[in-house]
Structure 1
Amino acid sequence: MRALVGLWRWRHNPLRRKTDLVEAWVALAALLLIAVAAPVAGTVVGGLTRDALLRSVREQREVRHAVSATVVQKVSRPPIDPDPETSSARDRNSRVLADWTAPDGTSRSGTVVAALESPDPGDRFRIWTDEHGQVVGRPLDSATAATHAALAGFGAAAAAVGIVEGTRRIVVWRMVRRRYDRWDQAWDKAGPDWGRTGTGS
């Protein structure tokens, strides 16, 4: 909006310098670029990220399987973590020795993290494994993928705005520096006696 006001103000003003008009045009170009480039960048990056993440969701769902595991015994906790954030997140889960059957039919056992506050032998809980029964992380779900894609789109749009605005500021800064240099040169030509009586002014 400032660019439009600047262009209108300098349109027929006799005090208008060429740099004033150029600065107003640069501001208008930046405004138009932000209005067009930011949404386009956000949409393209968000769409590409969404496609990639949804492809990853499909691939993970094909190779990761939810199986039921049975608690054999609770494993003693590691030493207390002094970081309250990590320890509080870990306190909701328990490390247990468990048995489970892999998707290929083989029996497996091992120490896993169970989403149980106070596990007892015989308690059942769900874990995710690969086709051979090795414990893996939970697969990414579609809602999380969509959220990450939206965040990537917003990030790309914000980056586009930042790049355009940063470029505009650099261009204007260089124009102002050039203007100051010209003023210095004009002042040097006028000399130190400018305005004094008898100096031919």
Structure 2
Amino acid sequence: MTAPWRHRGNPLVRRRDRVQGWVGVCAAAVVALGGPVAGAVSGLAVADGLAGDRARLTPVTADLRRDVPSDPGAPDGAPTMRAPVTYRTPSGRLRHAEAYVTGGLAAHSRVTVWLDARGRTQPPPPEPTDVALVSSATGSGMFACVAVLAGGGYRLVRGHLAAGREREWGREWDETEAGWTGRG
């Protein structure tokens, strides 16, 4: 595809060719401008949502009430198992509940549990590195979606214009053939 503004005054370039050129320019502009904007907006929205999870939860120290076996399949230090704990809410009430803890701890170990506004235990919020990873993956995915949609739209328009061009060429060939062969 050549730049559509280079076709001005060229009698061999049809209207459909010009339209295809400008649709290509628009598709490229959507990818170049809309892709990064859509990626940044979606990535920031995900990051804000995940960071909000951390802000809504309160960490408290709890005592583990029984031994927790180690989990060989868990990442190092990741709370993957639920175990009974005793903790004090921010208001000072003593509570017994189950919370997510790291495997391989002995009874009466100190662990951090996360509480919601009602004082109930919740899974730990994502770490900042996890938030960054998920939000950047979301932003990249959104950029890719914009690029695929813009490219797909261009291909759809280009196919429609090519079909119209084929019909025009067929009609013109029928007229030209009739004049050459004397069948017309």
- Whether TM exceeds 0.5 here: the answer is yes
Aligned to 1:171: 157
For structure 2, list consecutive stretches of 5 or more residues without a partner in the other structure: none
Q: 3-state DSSP class of the match of 1:120?
A: coil
Note the C-alpha offset of 1:187. Answer: 5.2
Q: Counterpart amino acid of 1:27?
A: G
2:171 corresponds to 1:161: no
- TM-score, structure 2 as length reference: 0.70
Distance change in 2, residues 1:183/1:104 (3 Å): same
Among 62, 83, 87, the alignment partner of 1:100 is: 87
Among 4, 14, 28, the alignment partner of 1:31 is: 28
Aligned to 2:106: 120
Choose 1 or 2 for highest CA Rg: 1
Q: Which moved more, 1:89-98 or 1:167-176?
A: 89-98
Q: 3-state DSSP class of the match of 1:98?
A: strand
Q: Is the 8 A contact 1:103 1:132 kept in 2?
A: no
Among 72, 93, 98, the alignment partner of 2:65 is: 72
Q: Is the 8 A contact 2:43 2:139 kept in 1?
A: yes
Aligned-CA RMSD value = 3.8
Deviations 1:64-105 (A, max 9, x none): 22222222223789xxxxxxxx98238974443322222222
Aligned length: 182
Distance change in 2, residues 1:37/1:132 (3 Å): closer
Q: 3-state DSSP class of the match of 2:121?
A: coil
Query: 2-side partners of 1:46 and 1:113: how far apart?
Result: 28
Aligned to 1:53: 49
Deviations 1:162-187 (A, max 9, x none): 22222211111101111222334445
Distance change in 2, residues 1:141/1:112 (3 Å): closer
For structure 1, list consecutive stretches of 5 or more residues without a partner in the other structure: 78-85
- TM-score, structure 1 as length reference: 0.66
Aligned to 1:134: 120
Aligned-pair identity in percent equals 24
Distance change in 2, residues 1:90/1:133 (3 Å): farther
Among 30, 38, 42, the alignment partner of 1:41 is: 38
